[in-house]
Structure 1
Amino acid sequence: MAITVDQIKTSLNQCMDPEVPLSIVEMGLVYGIDISESNDVNIKMTMTTQGCPLHQTIVQDVARYVKKVPGVNNVKVDIVWDPPWTMDKMSEAAKAKLKSFSKSGAPAPIDYETALPQGIGSLVQQEDGSMVLANEHNQGFMVNQAIVDFWKSCNGKRKITELVDVFAQTTGLQRSQVEKEVIQLIGQLRDGGLITIPTPDSPNVEFRK
């Protein structure tokens, strides 16, 4: 049974970019899909940034989604940096979606190397024992203990890499298993107004004395 590029694309449409709620196809990250006569699939793709901490996770996800197409044999994912990705590569629909996600102006992308997330808002215990994190507008989000612990660990002093370590310890999972969850969690908490990520100030003013 011959496999088509469309089948592969349809499956990859469910593979989400970890940083924005769009698929890697909508984001324009897939540069090429090659299918051999023996149904081996070679994916050529890029990332939005070279320093993406989820490099490995995305490659594994892509391979997993390609393998969901019946008849696929081997999957090879090549990451290329040429041509570099720009927002122009996104589909029109994706650009429109992105605009609607960020009605108040696009949220600044999180710099995973330097960001120091700081938990804000308050924790409210409901009468039935369930926990809710409330932001300053009193919007509440149902959370579990793991998320509460994570929110508390965002103390404005830990980098995201350290938060991944903390989350891995509290959940007892491997670092590689929780990386993606932590990044998504930070995005969701930030969107919900439950953590703030201060932007680093302009170059240190102290040096100008």
Structure 2
Amino acid sequence: MAQHDDRIETGEHRGIISRMVSALRRRDPEAGREAGPSAEAAPVPASAAPSAEHPGASAAADAPFVPVEQVLMGVELADRDEALAFISARAVGLGLADDAAELDAAFHRREAEGTTGMMDGFAIPHAKSRAIRRASVLVVRADAGIAGWDTMDELPVTVAIALLIPDSEDGAAHLRLLSRVAESLMDDSFRAAVTSAASPEDIARILNDRLR
């Protein structure tokens, strides 16, 4: 049964990413707008929005889901593997996880599924693992670009929004958070705000406005 559930969750991952990439590709390149609606580019269901079941909802109402220390700017990373190792080590350093090697392996399992690479310079690496202590988001912005990510437009990634989900969370919690981030990345103004933000504080504020 566990294997069956894993296949379902992987299929849901691919569906979320497929809808997002379809919406991004359908933008009018001159007007900077999305084309008319279609089934593939349908909005993420309301059930994906933050709720009492959202992984971050158990935190105090005034506590940001993405604290400023979980936003890293000015980072230089040679490639995707170095980026994932960096994110894993930083997660342990911040107390979000307790085993960098296990977390790195969990990220790579998702990479093998092809459910993380985006386009327009964004990627959503995500991991579900017993090494993760609490549901978290960790953001890395590397303006020089990170090579080696299997993105839809084959361009380097400049922003990685990493999702960390404890193994104890059900699959729906993982998919809700992935859906919420994917929905945000369909928004031209959101992507532009993240890539042009002047400080970690600004990026944290932008993400918290969307995820809480």
Same fold per superposition (TM over 0.5): no
* Higher Rg of the two aligned structures: 1
- Which is richer in helix? 2
TM-score (norm 1): 0.25
TM-score (norm 2): 0.25
Structure number with higher relative contact order (C-alpha < 8 Å, ≥ 6 residues apart): 2
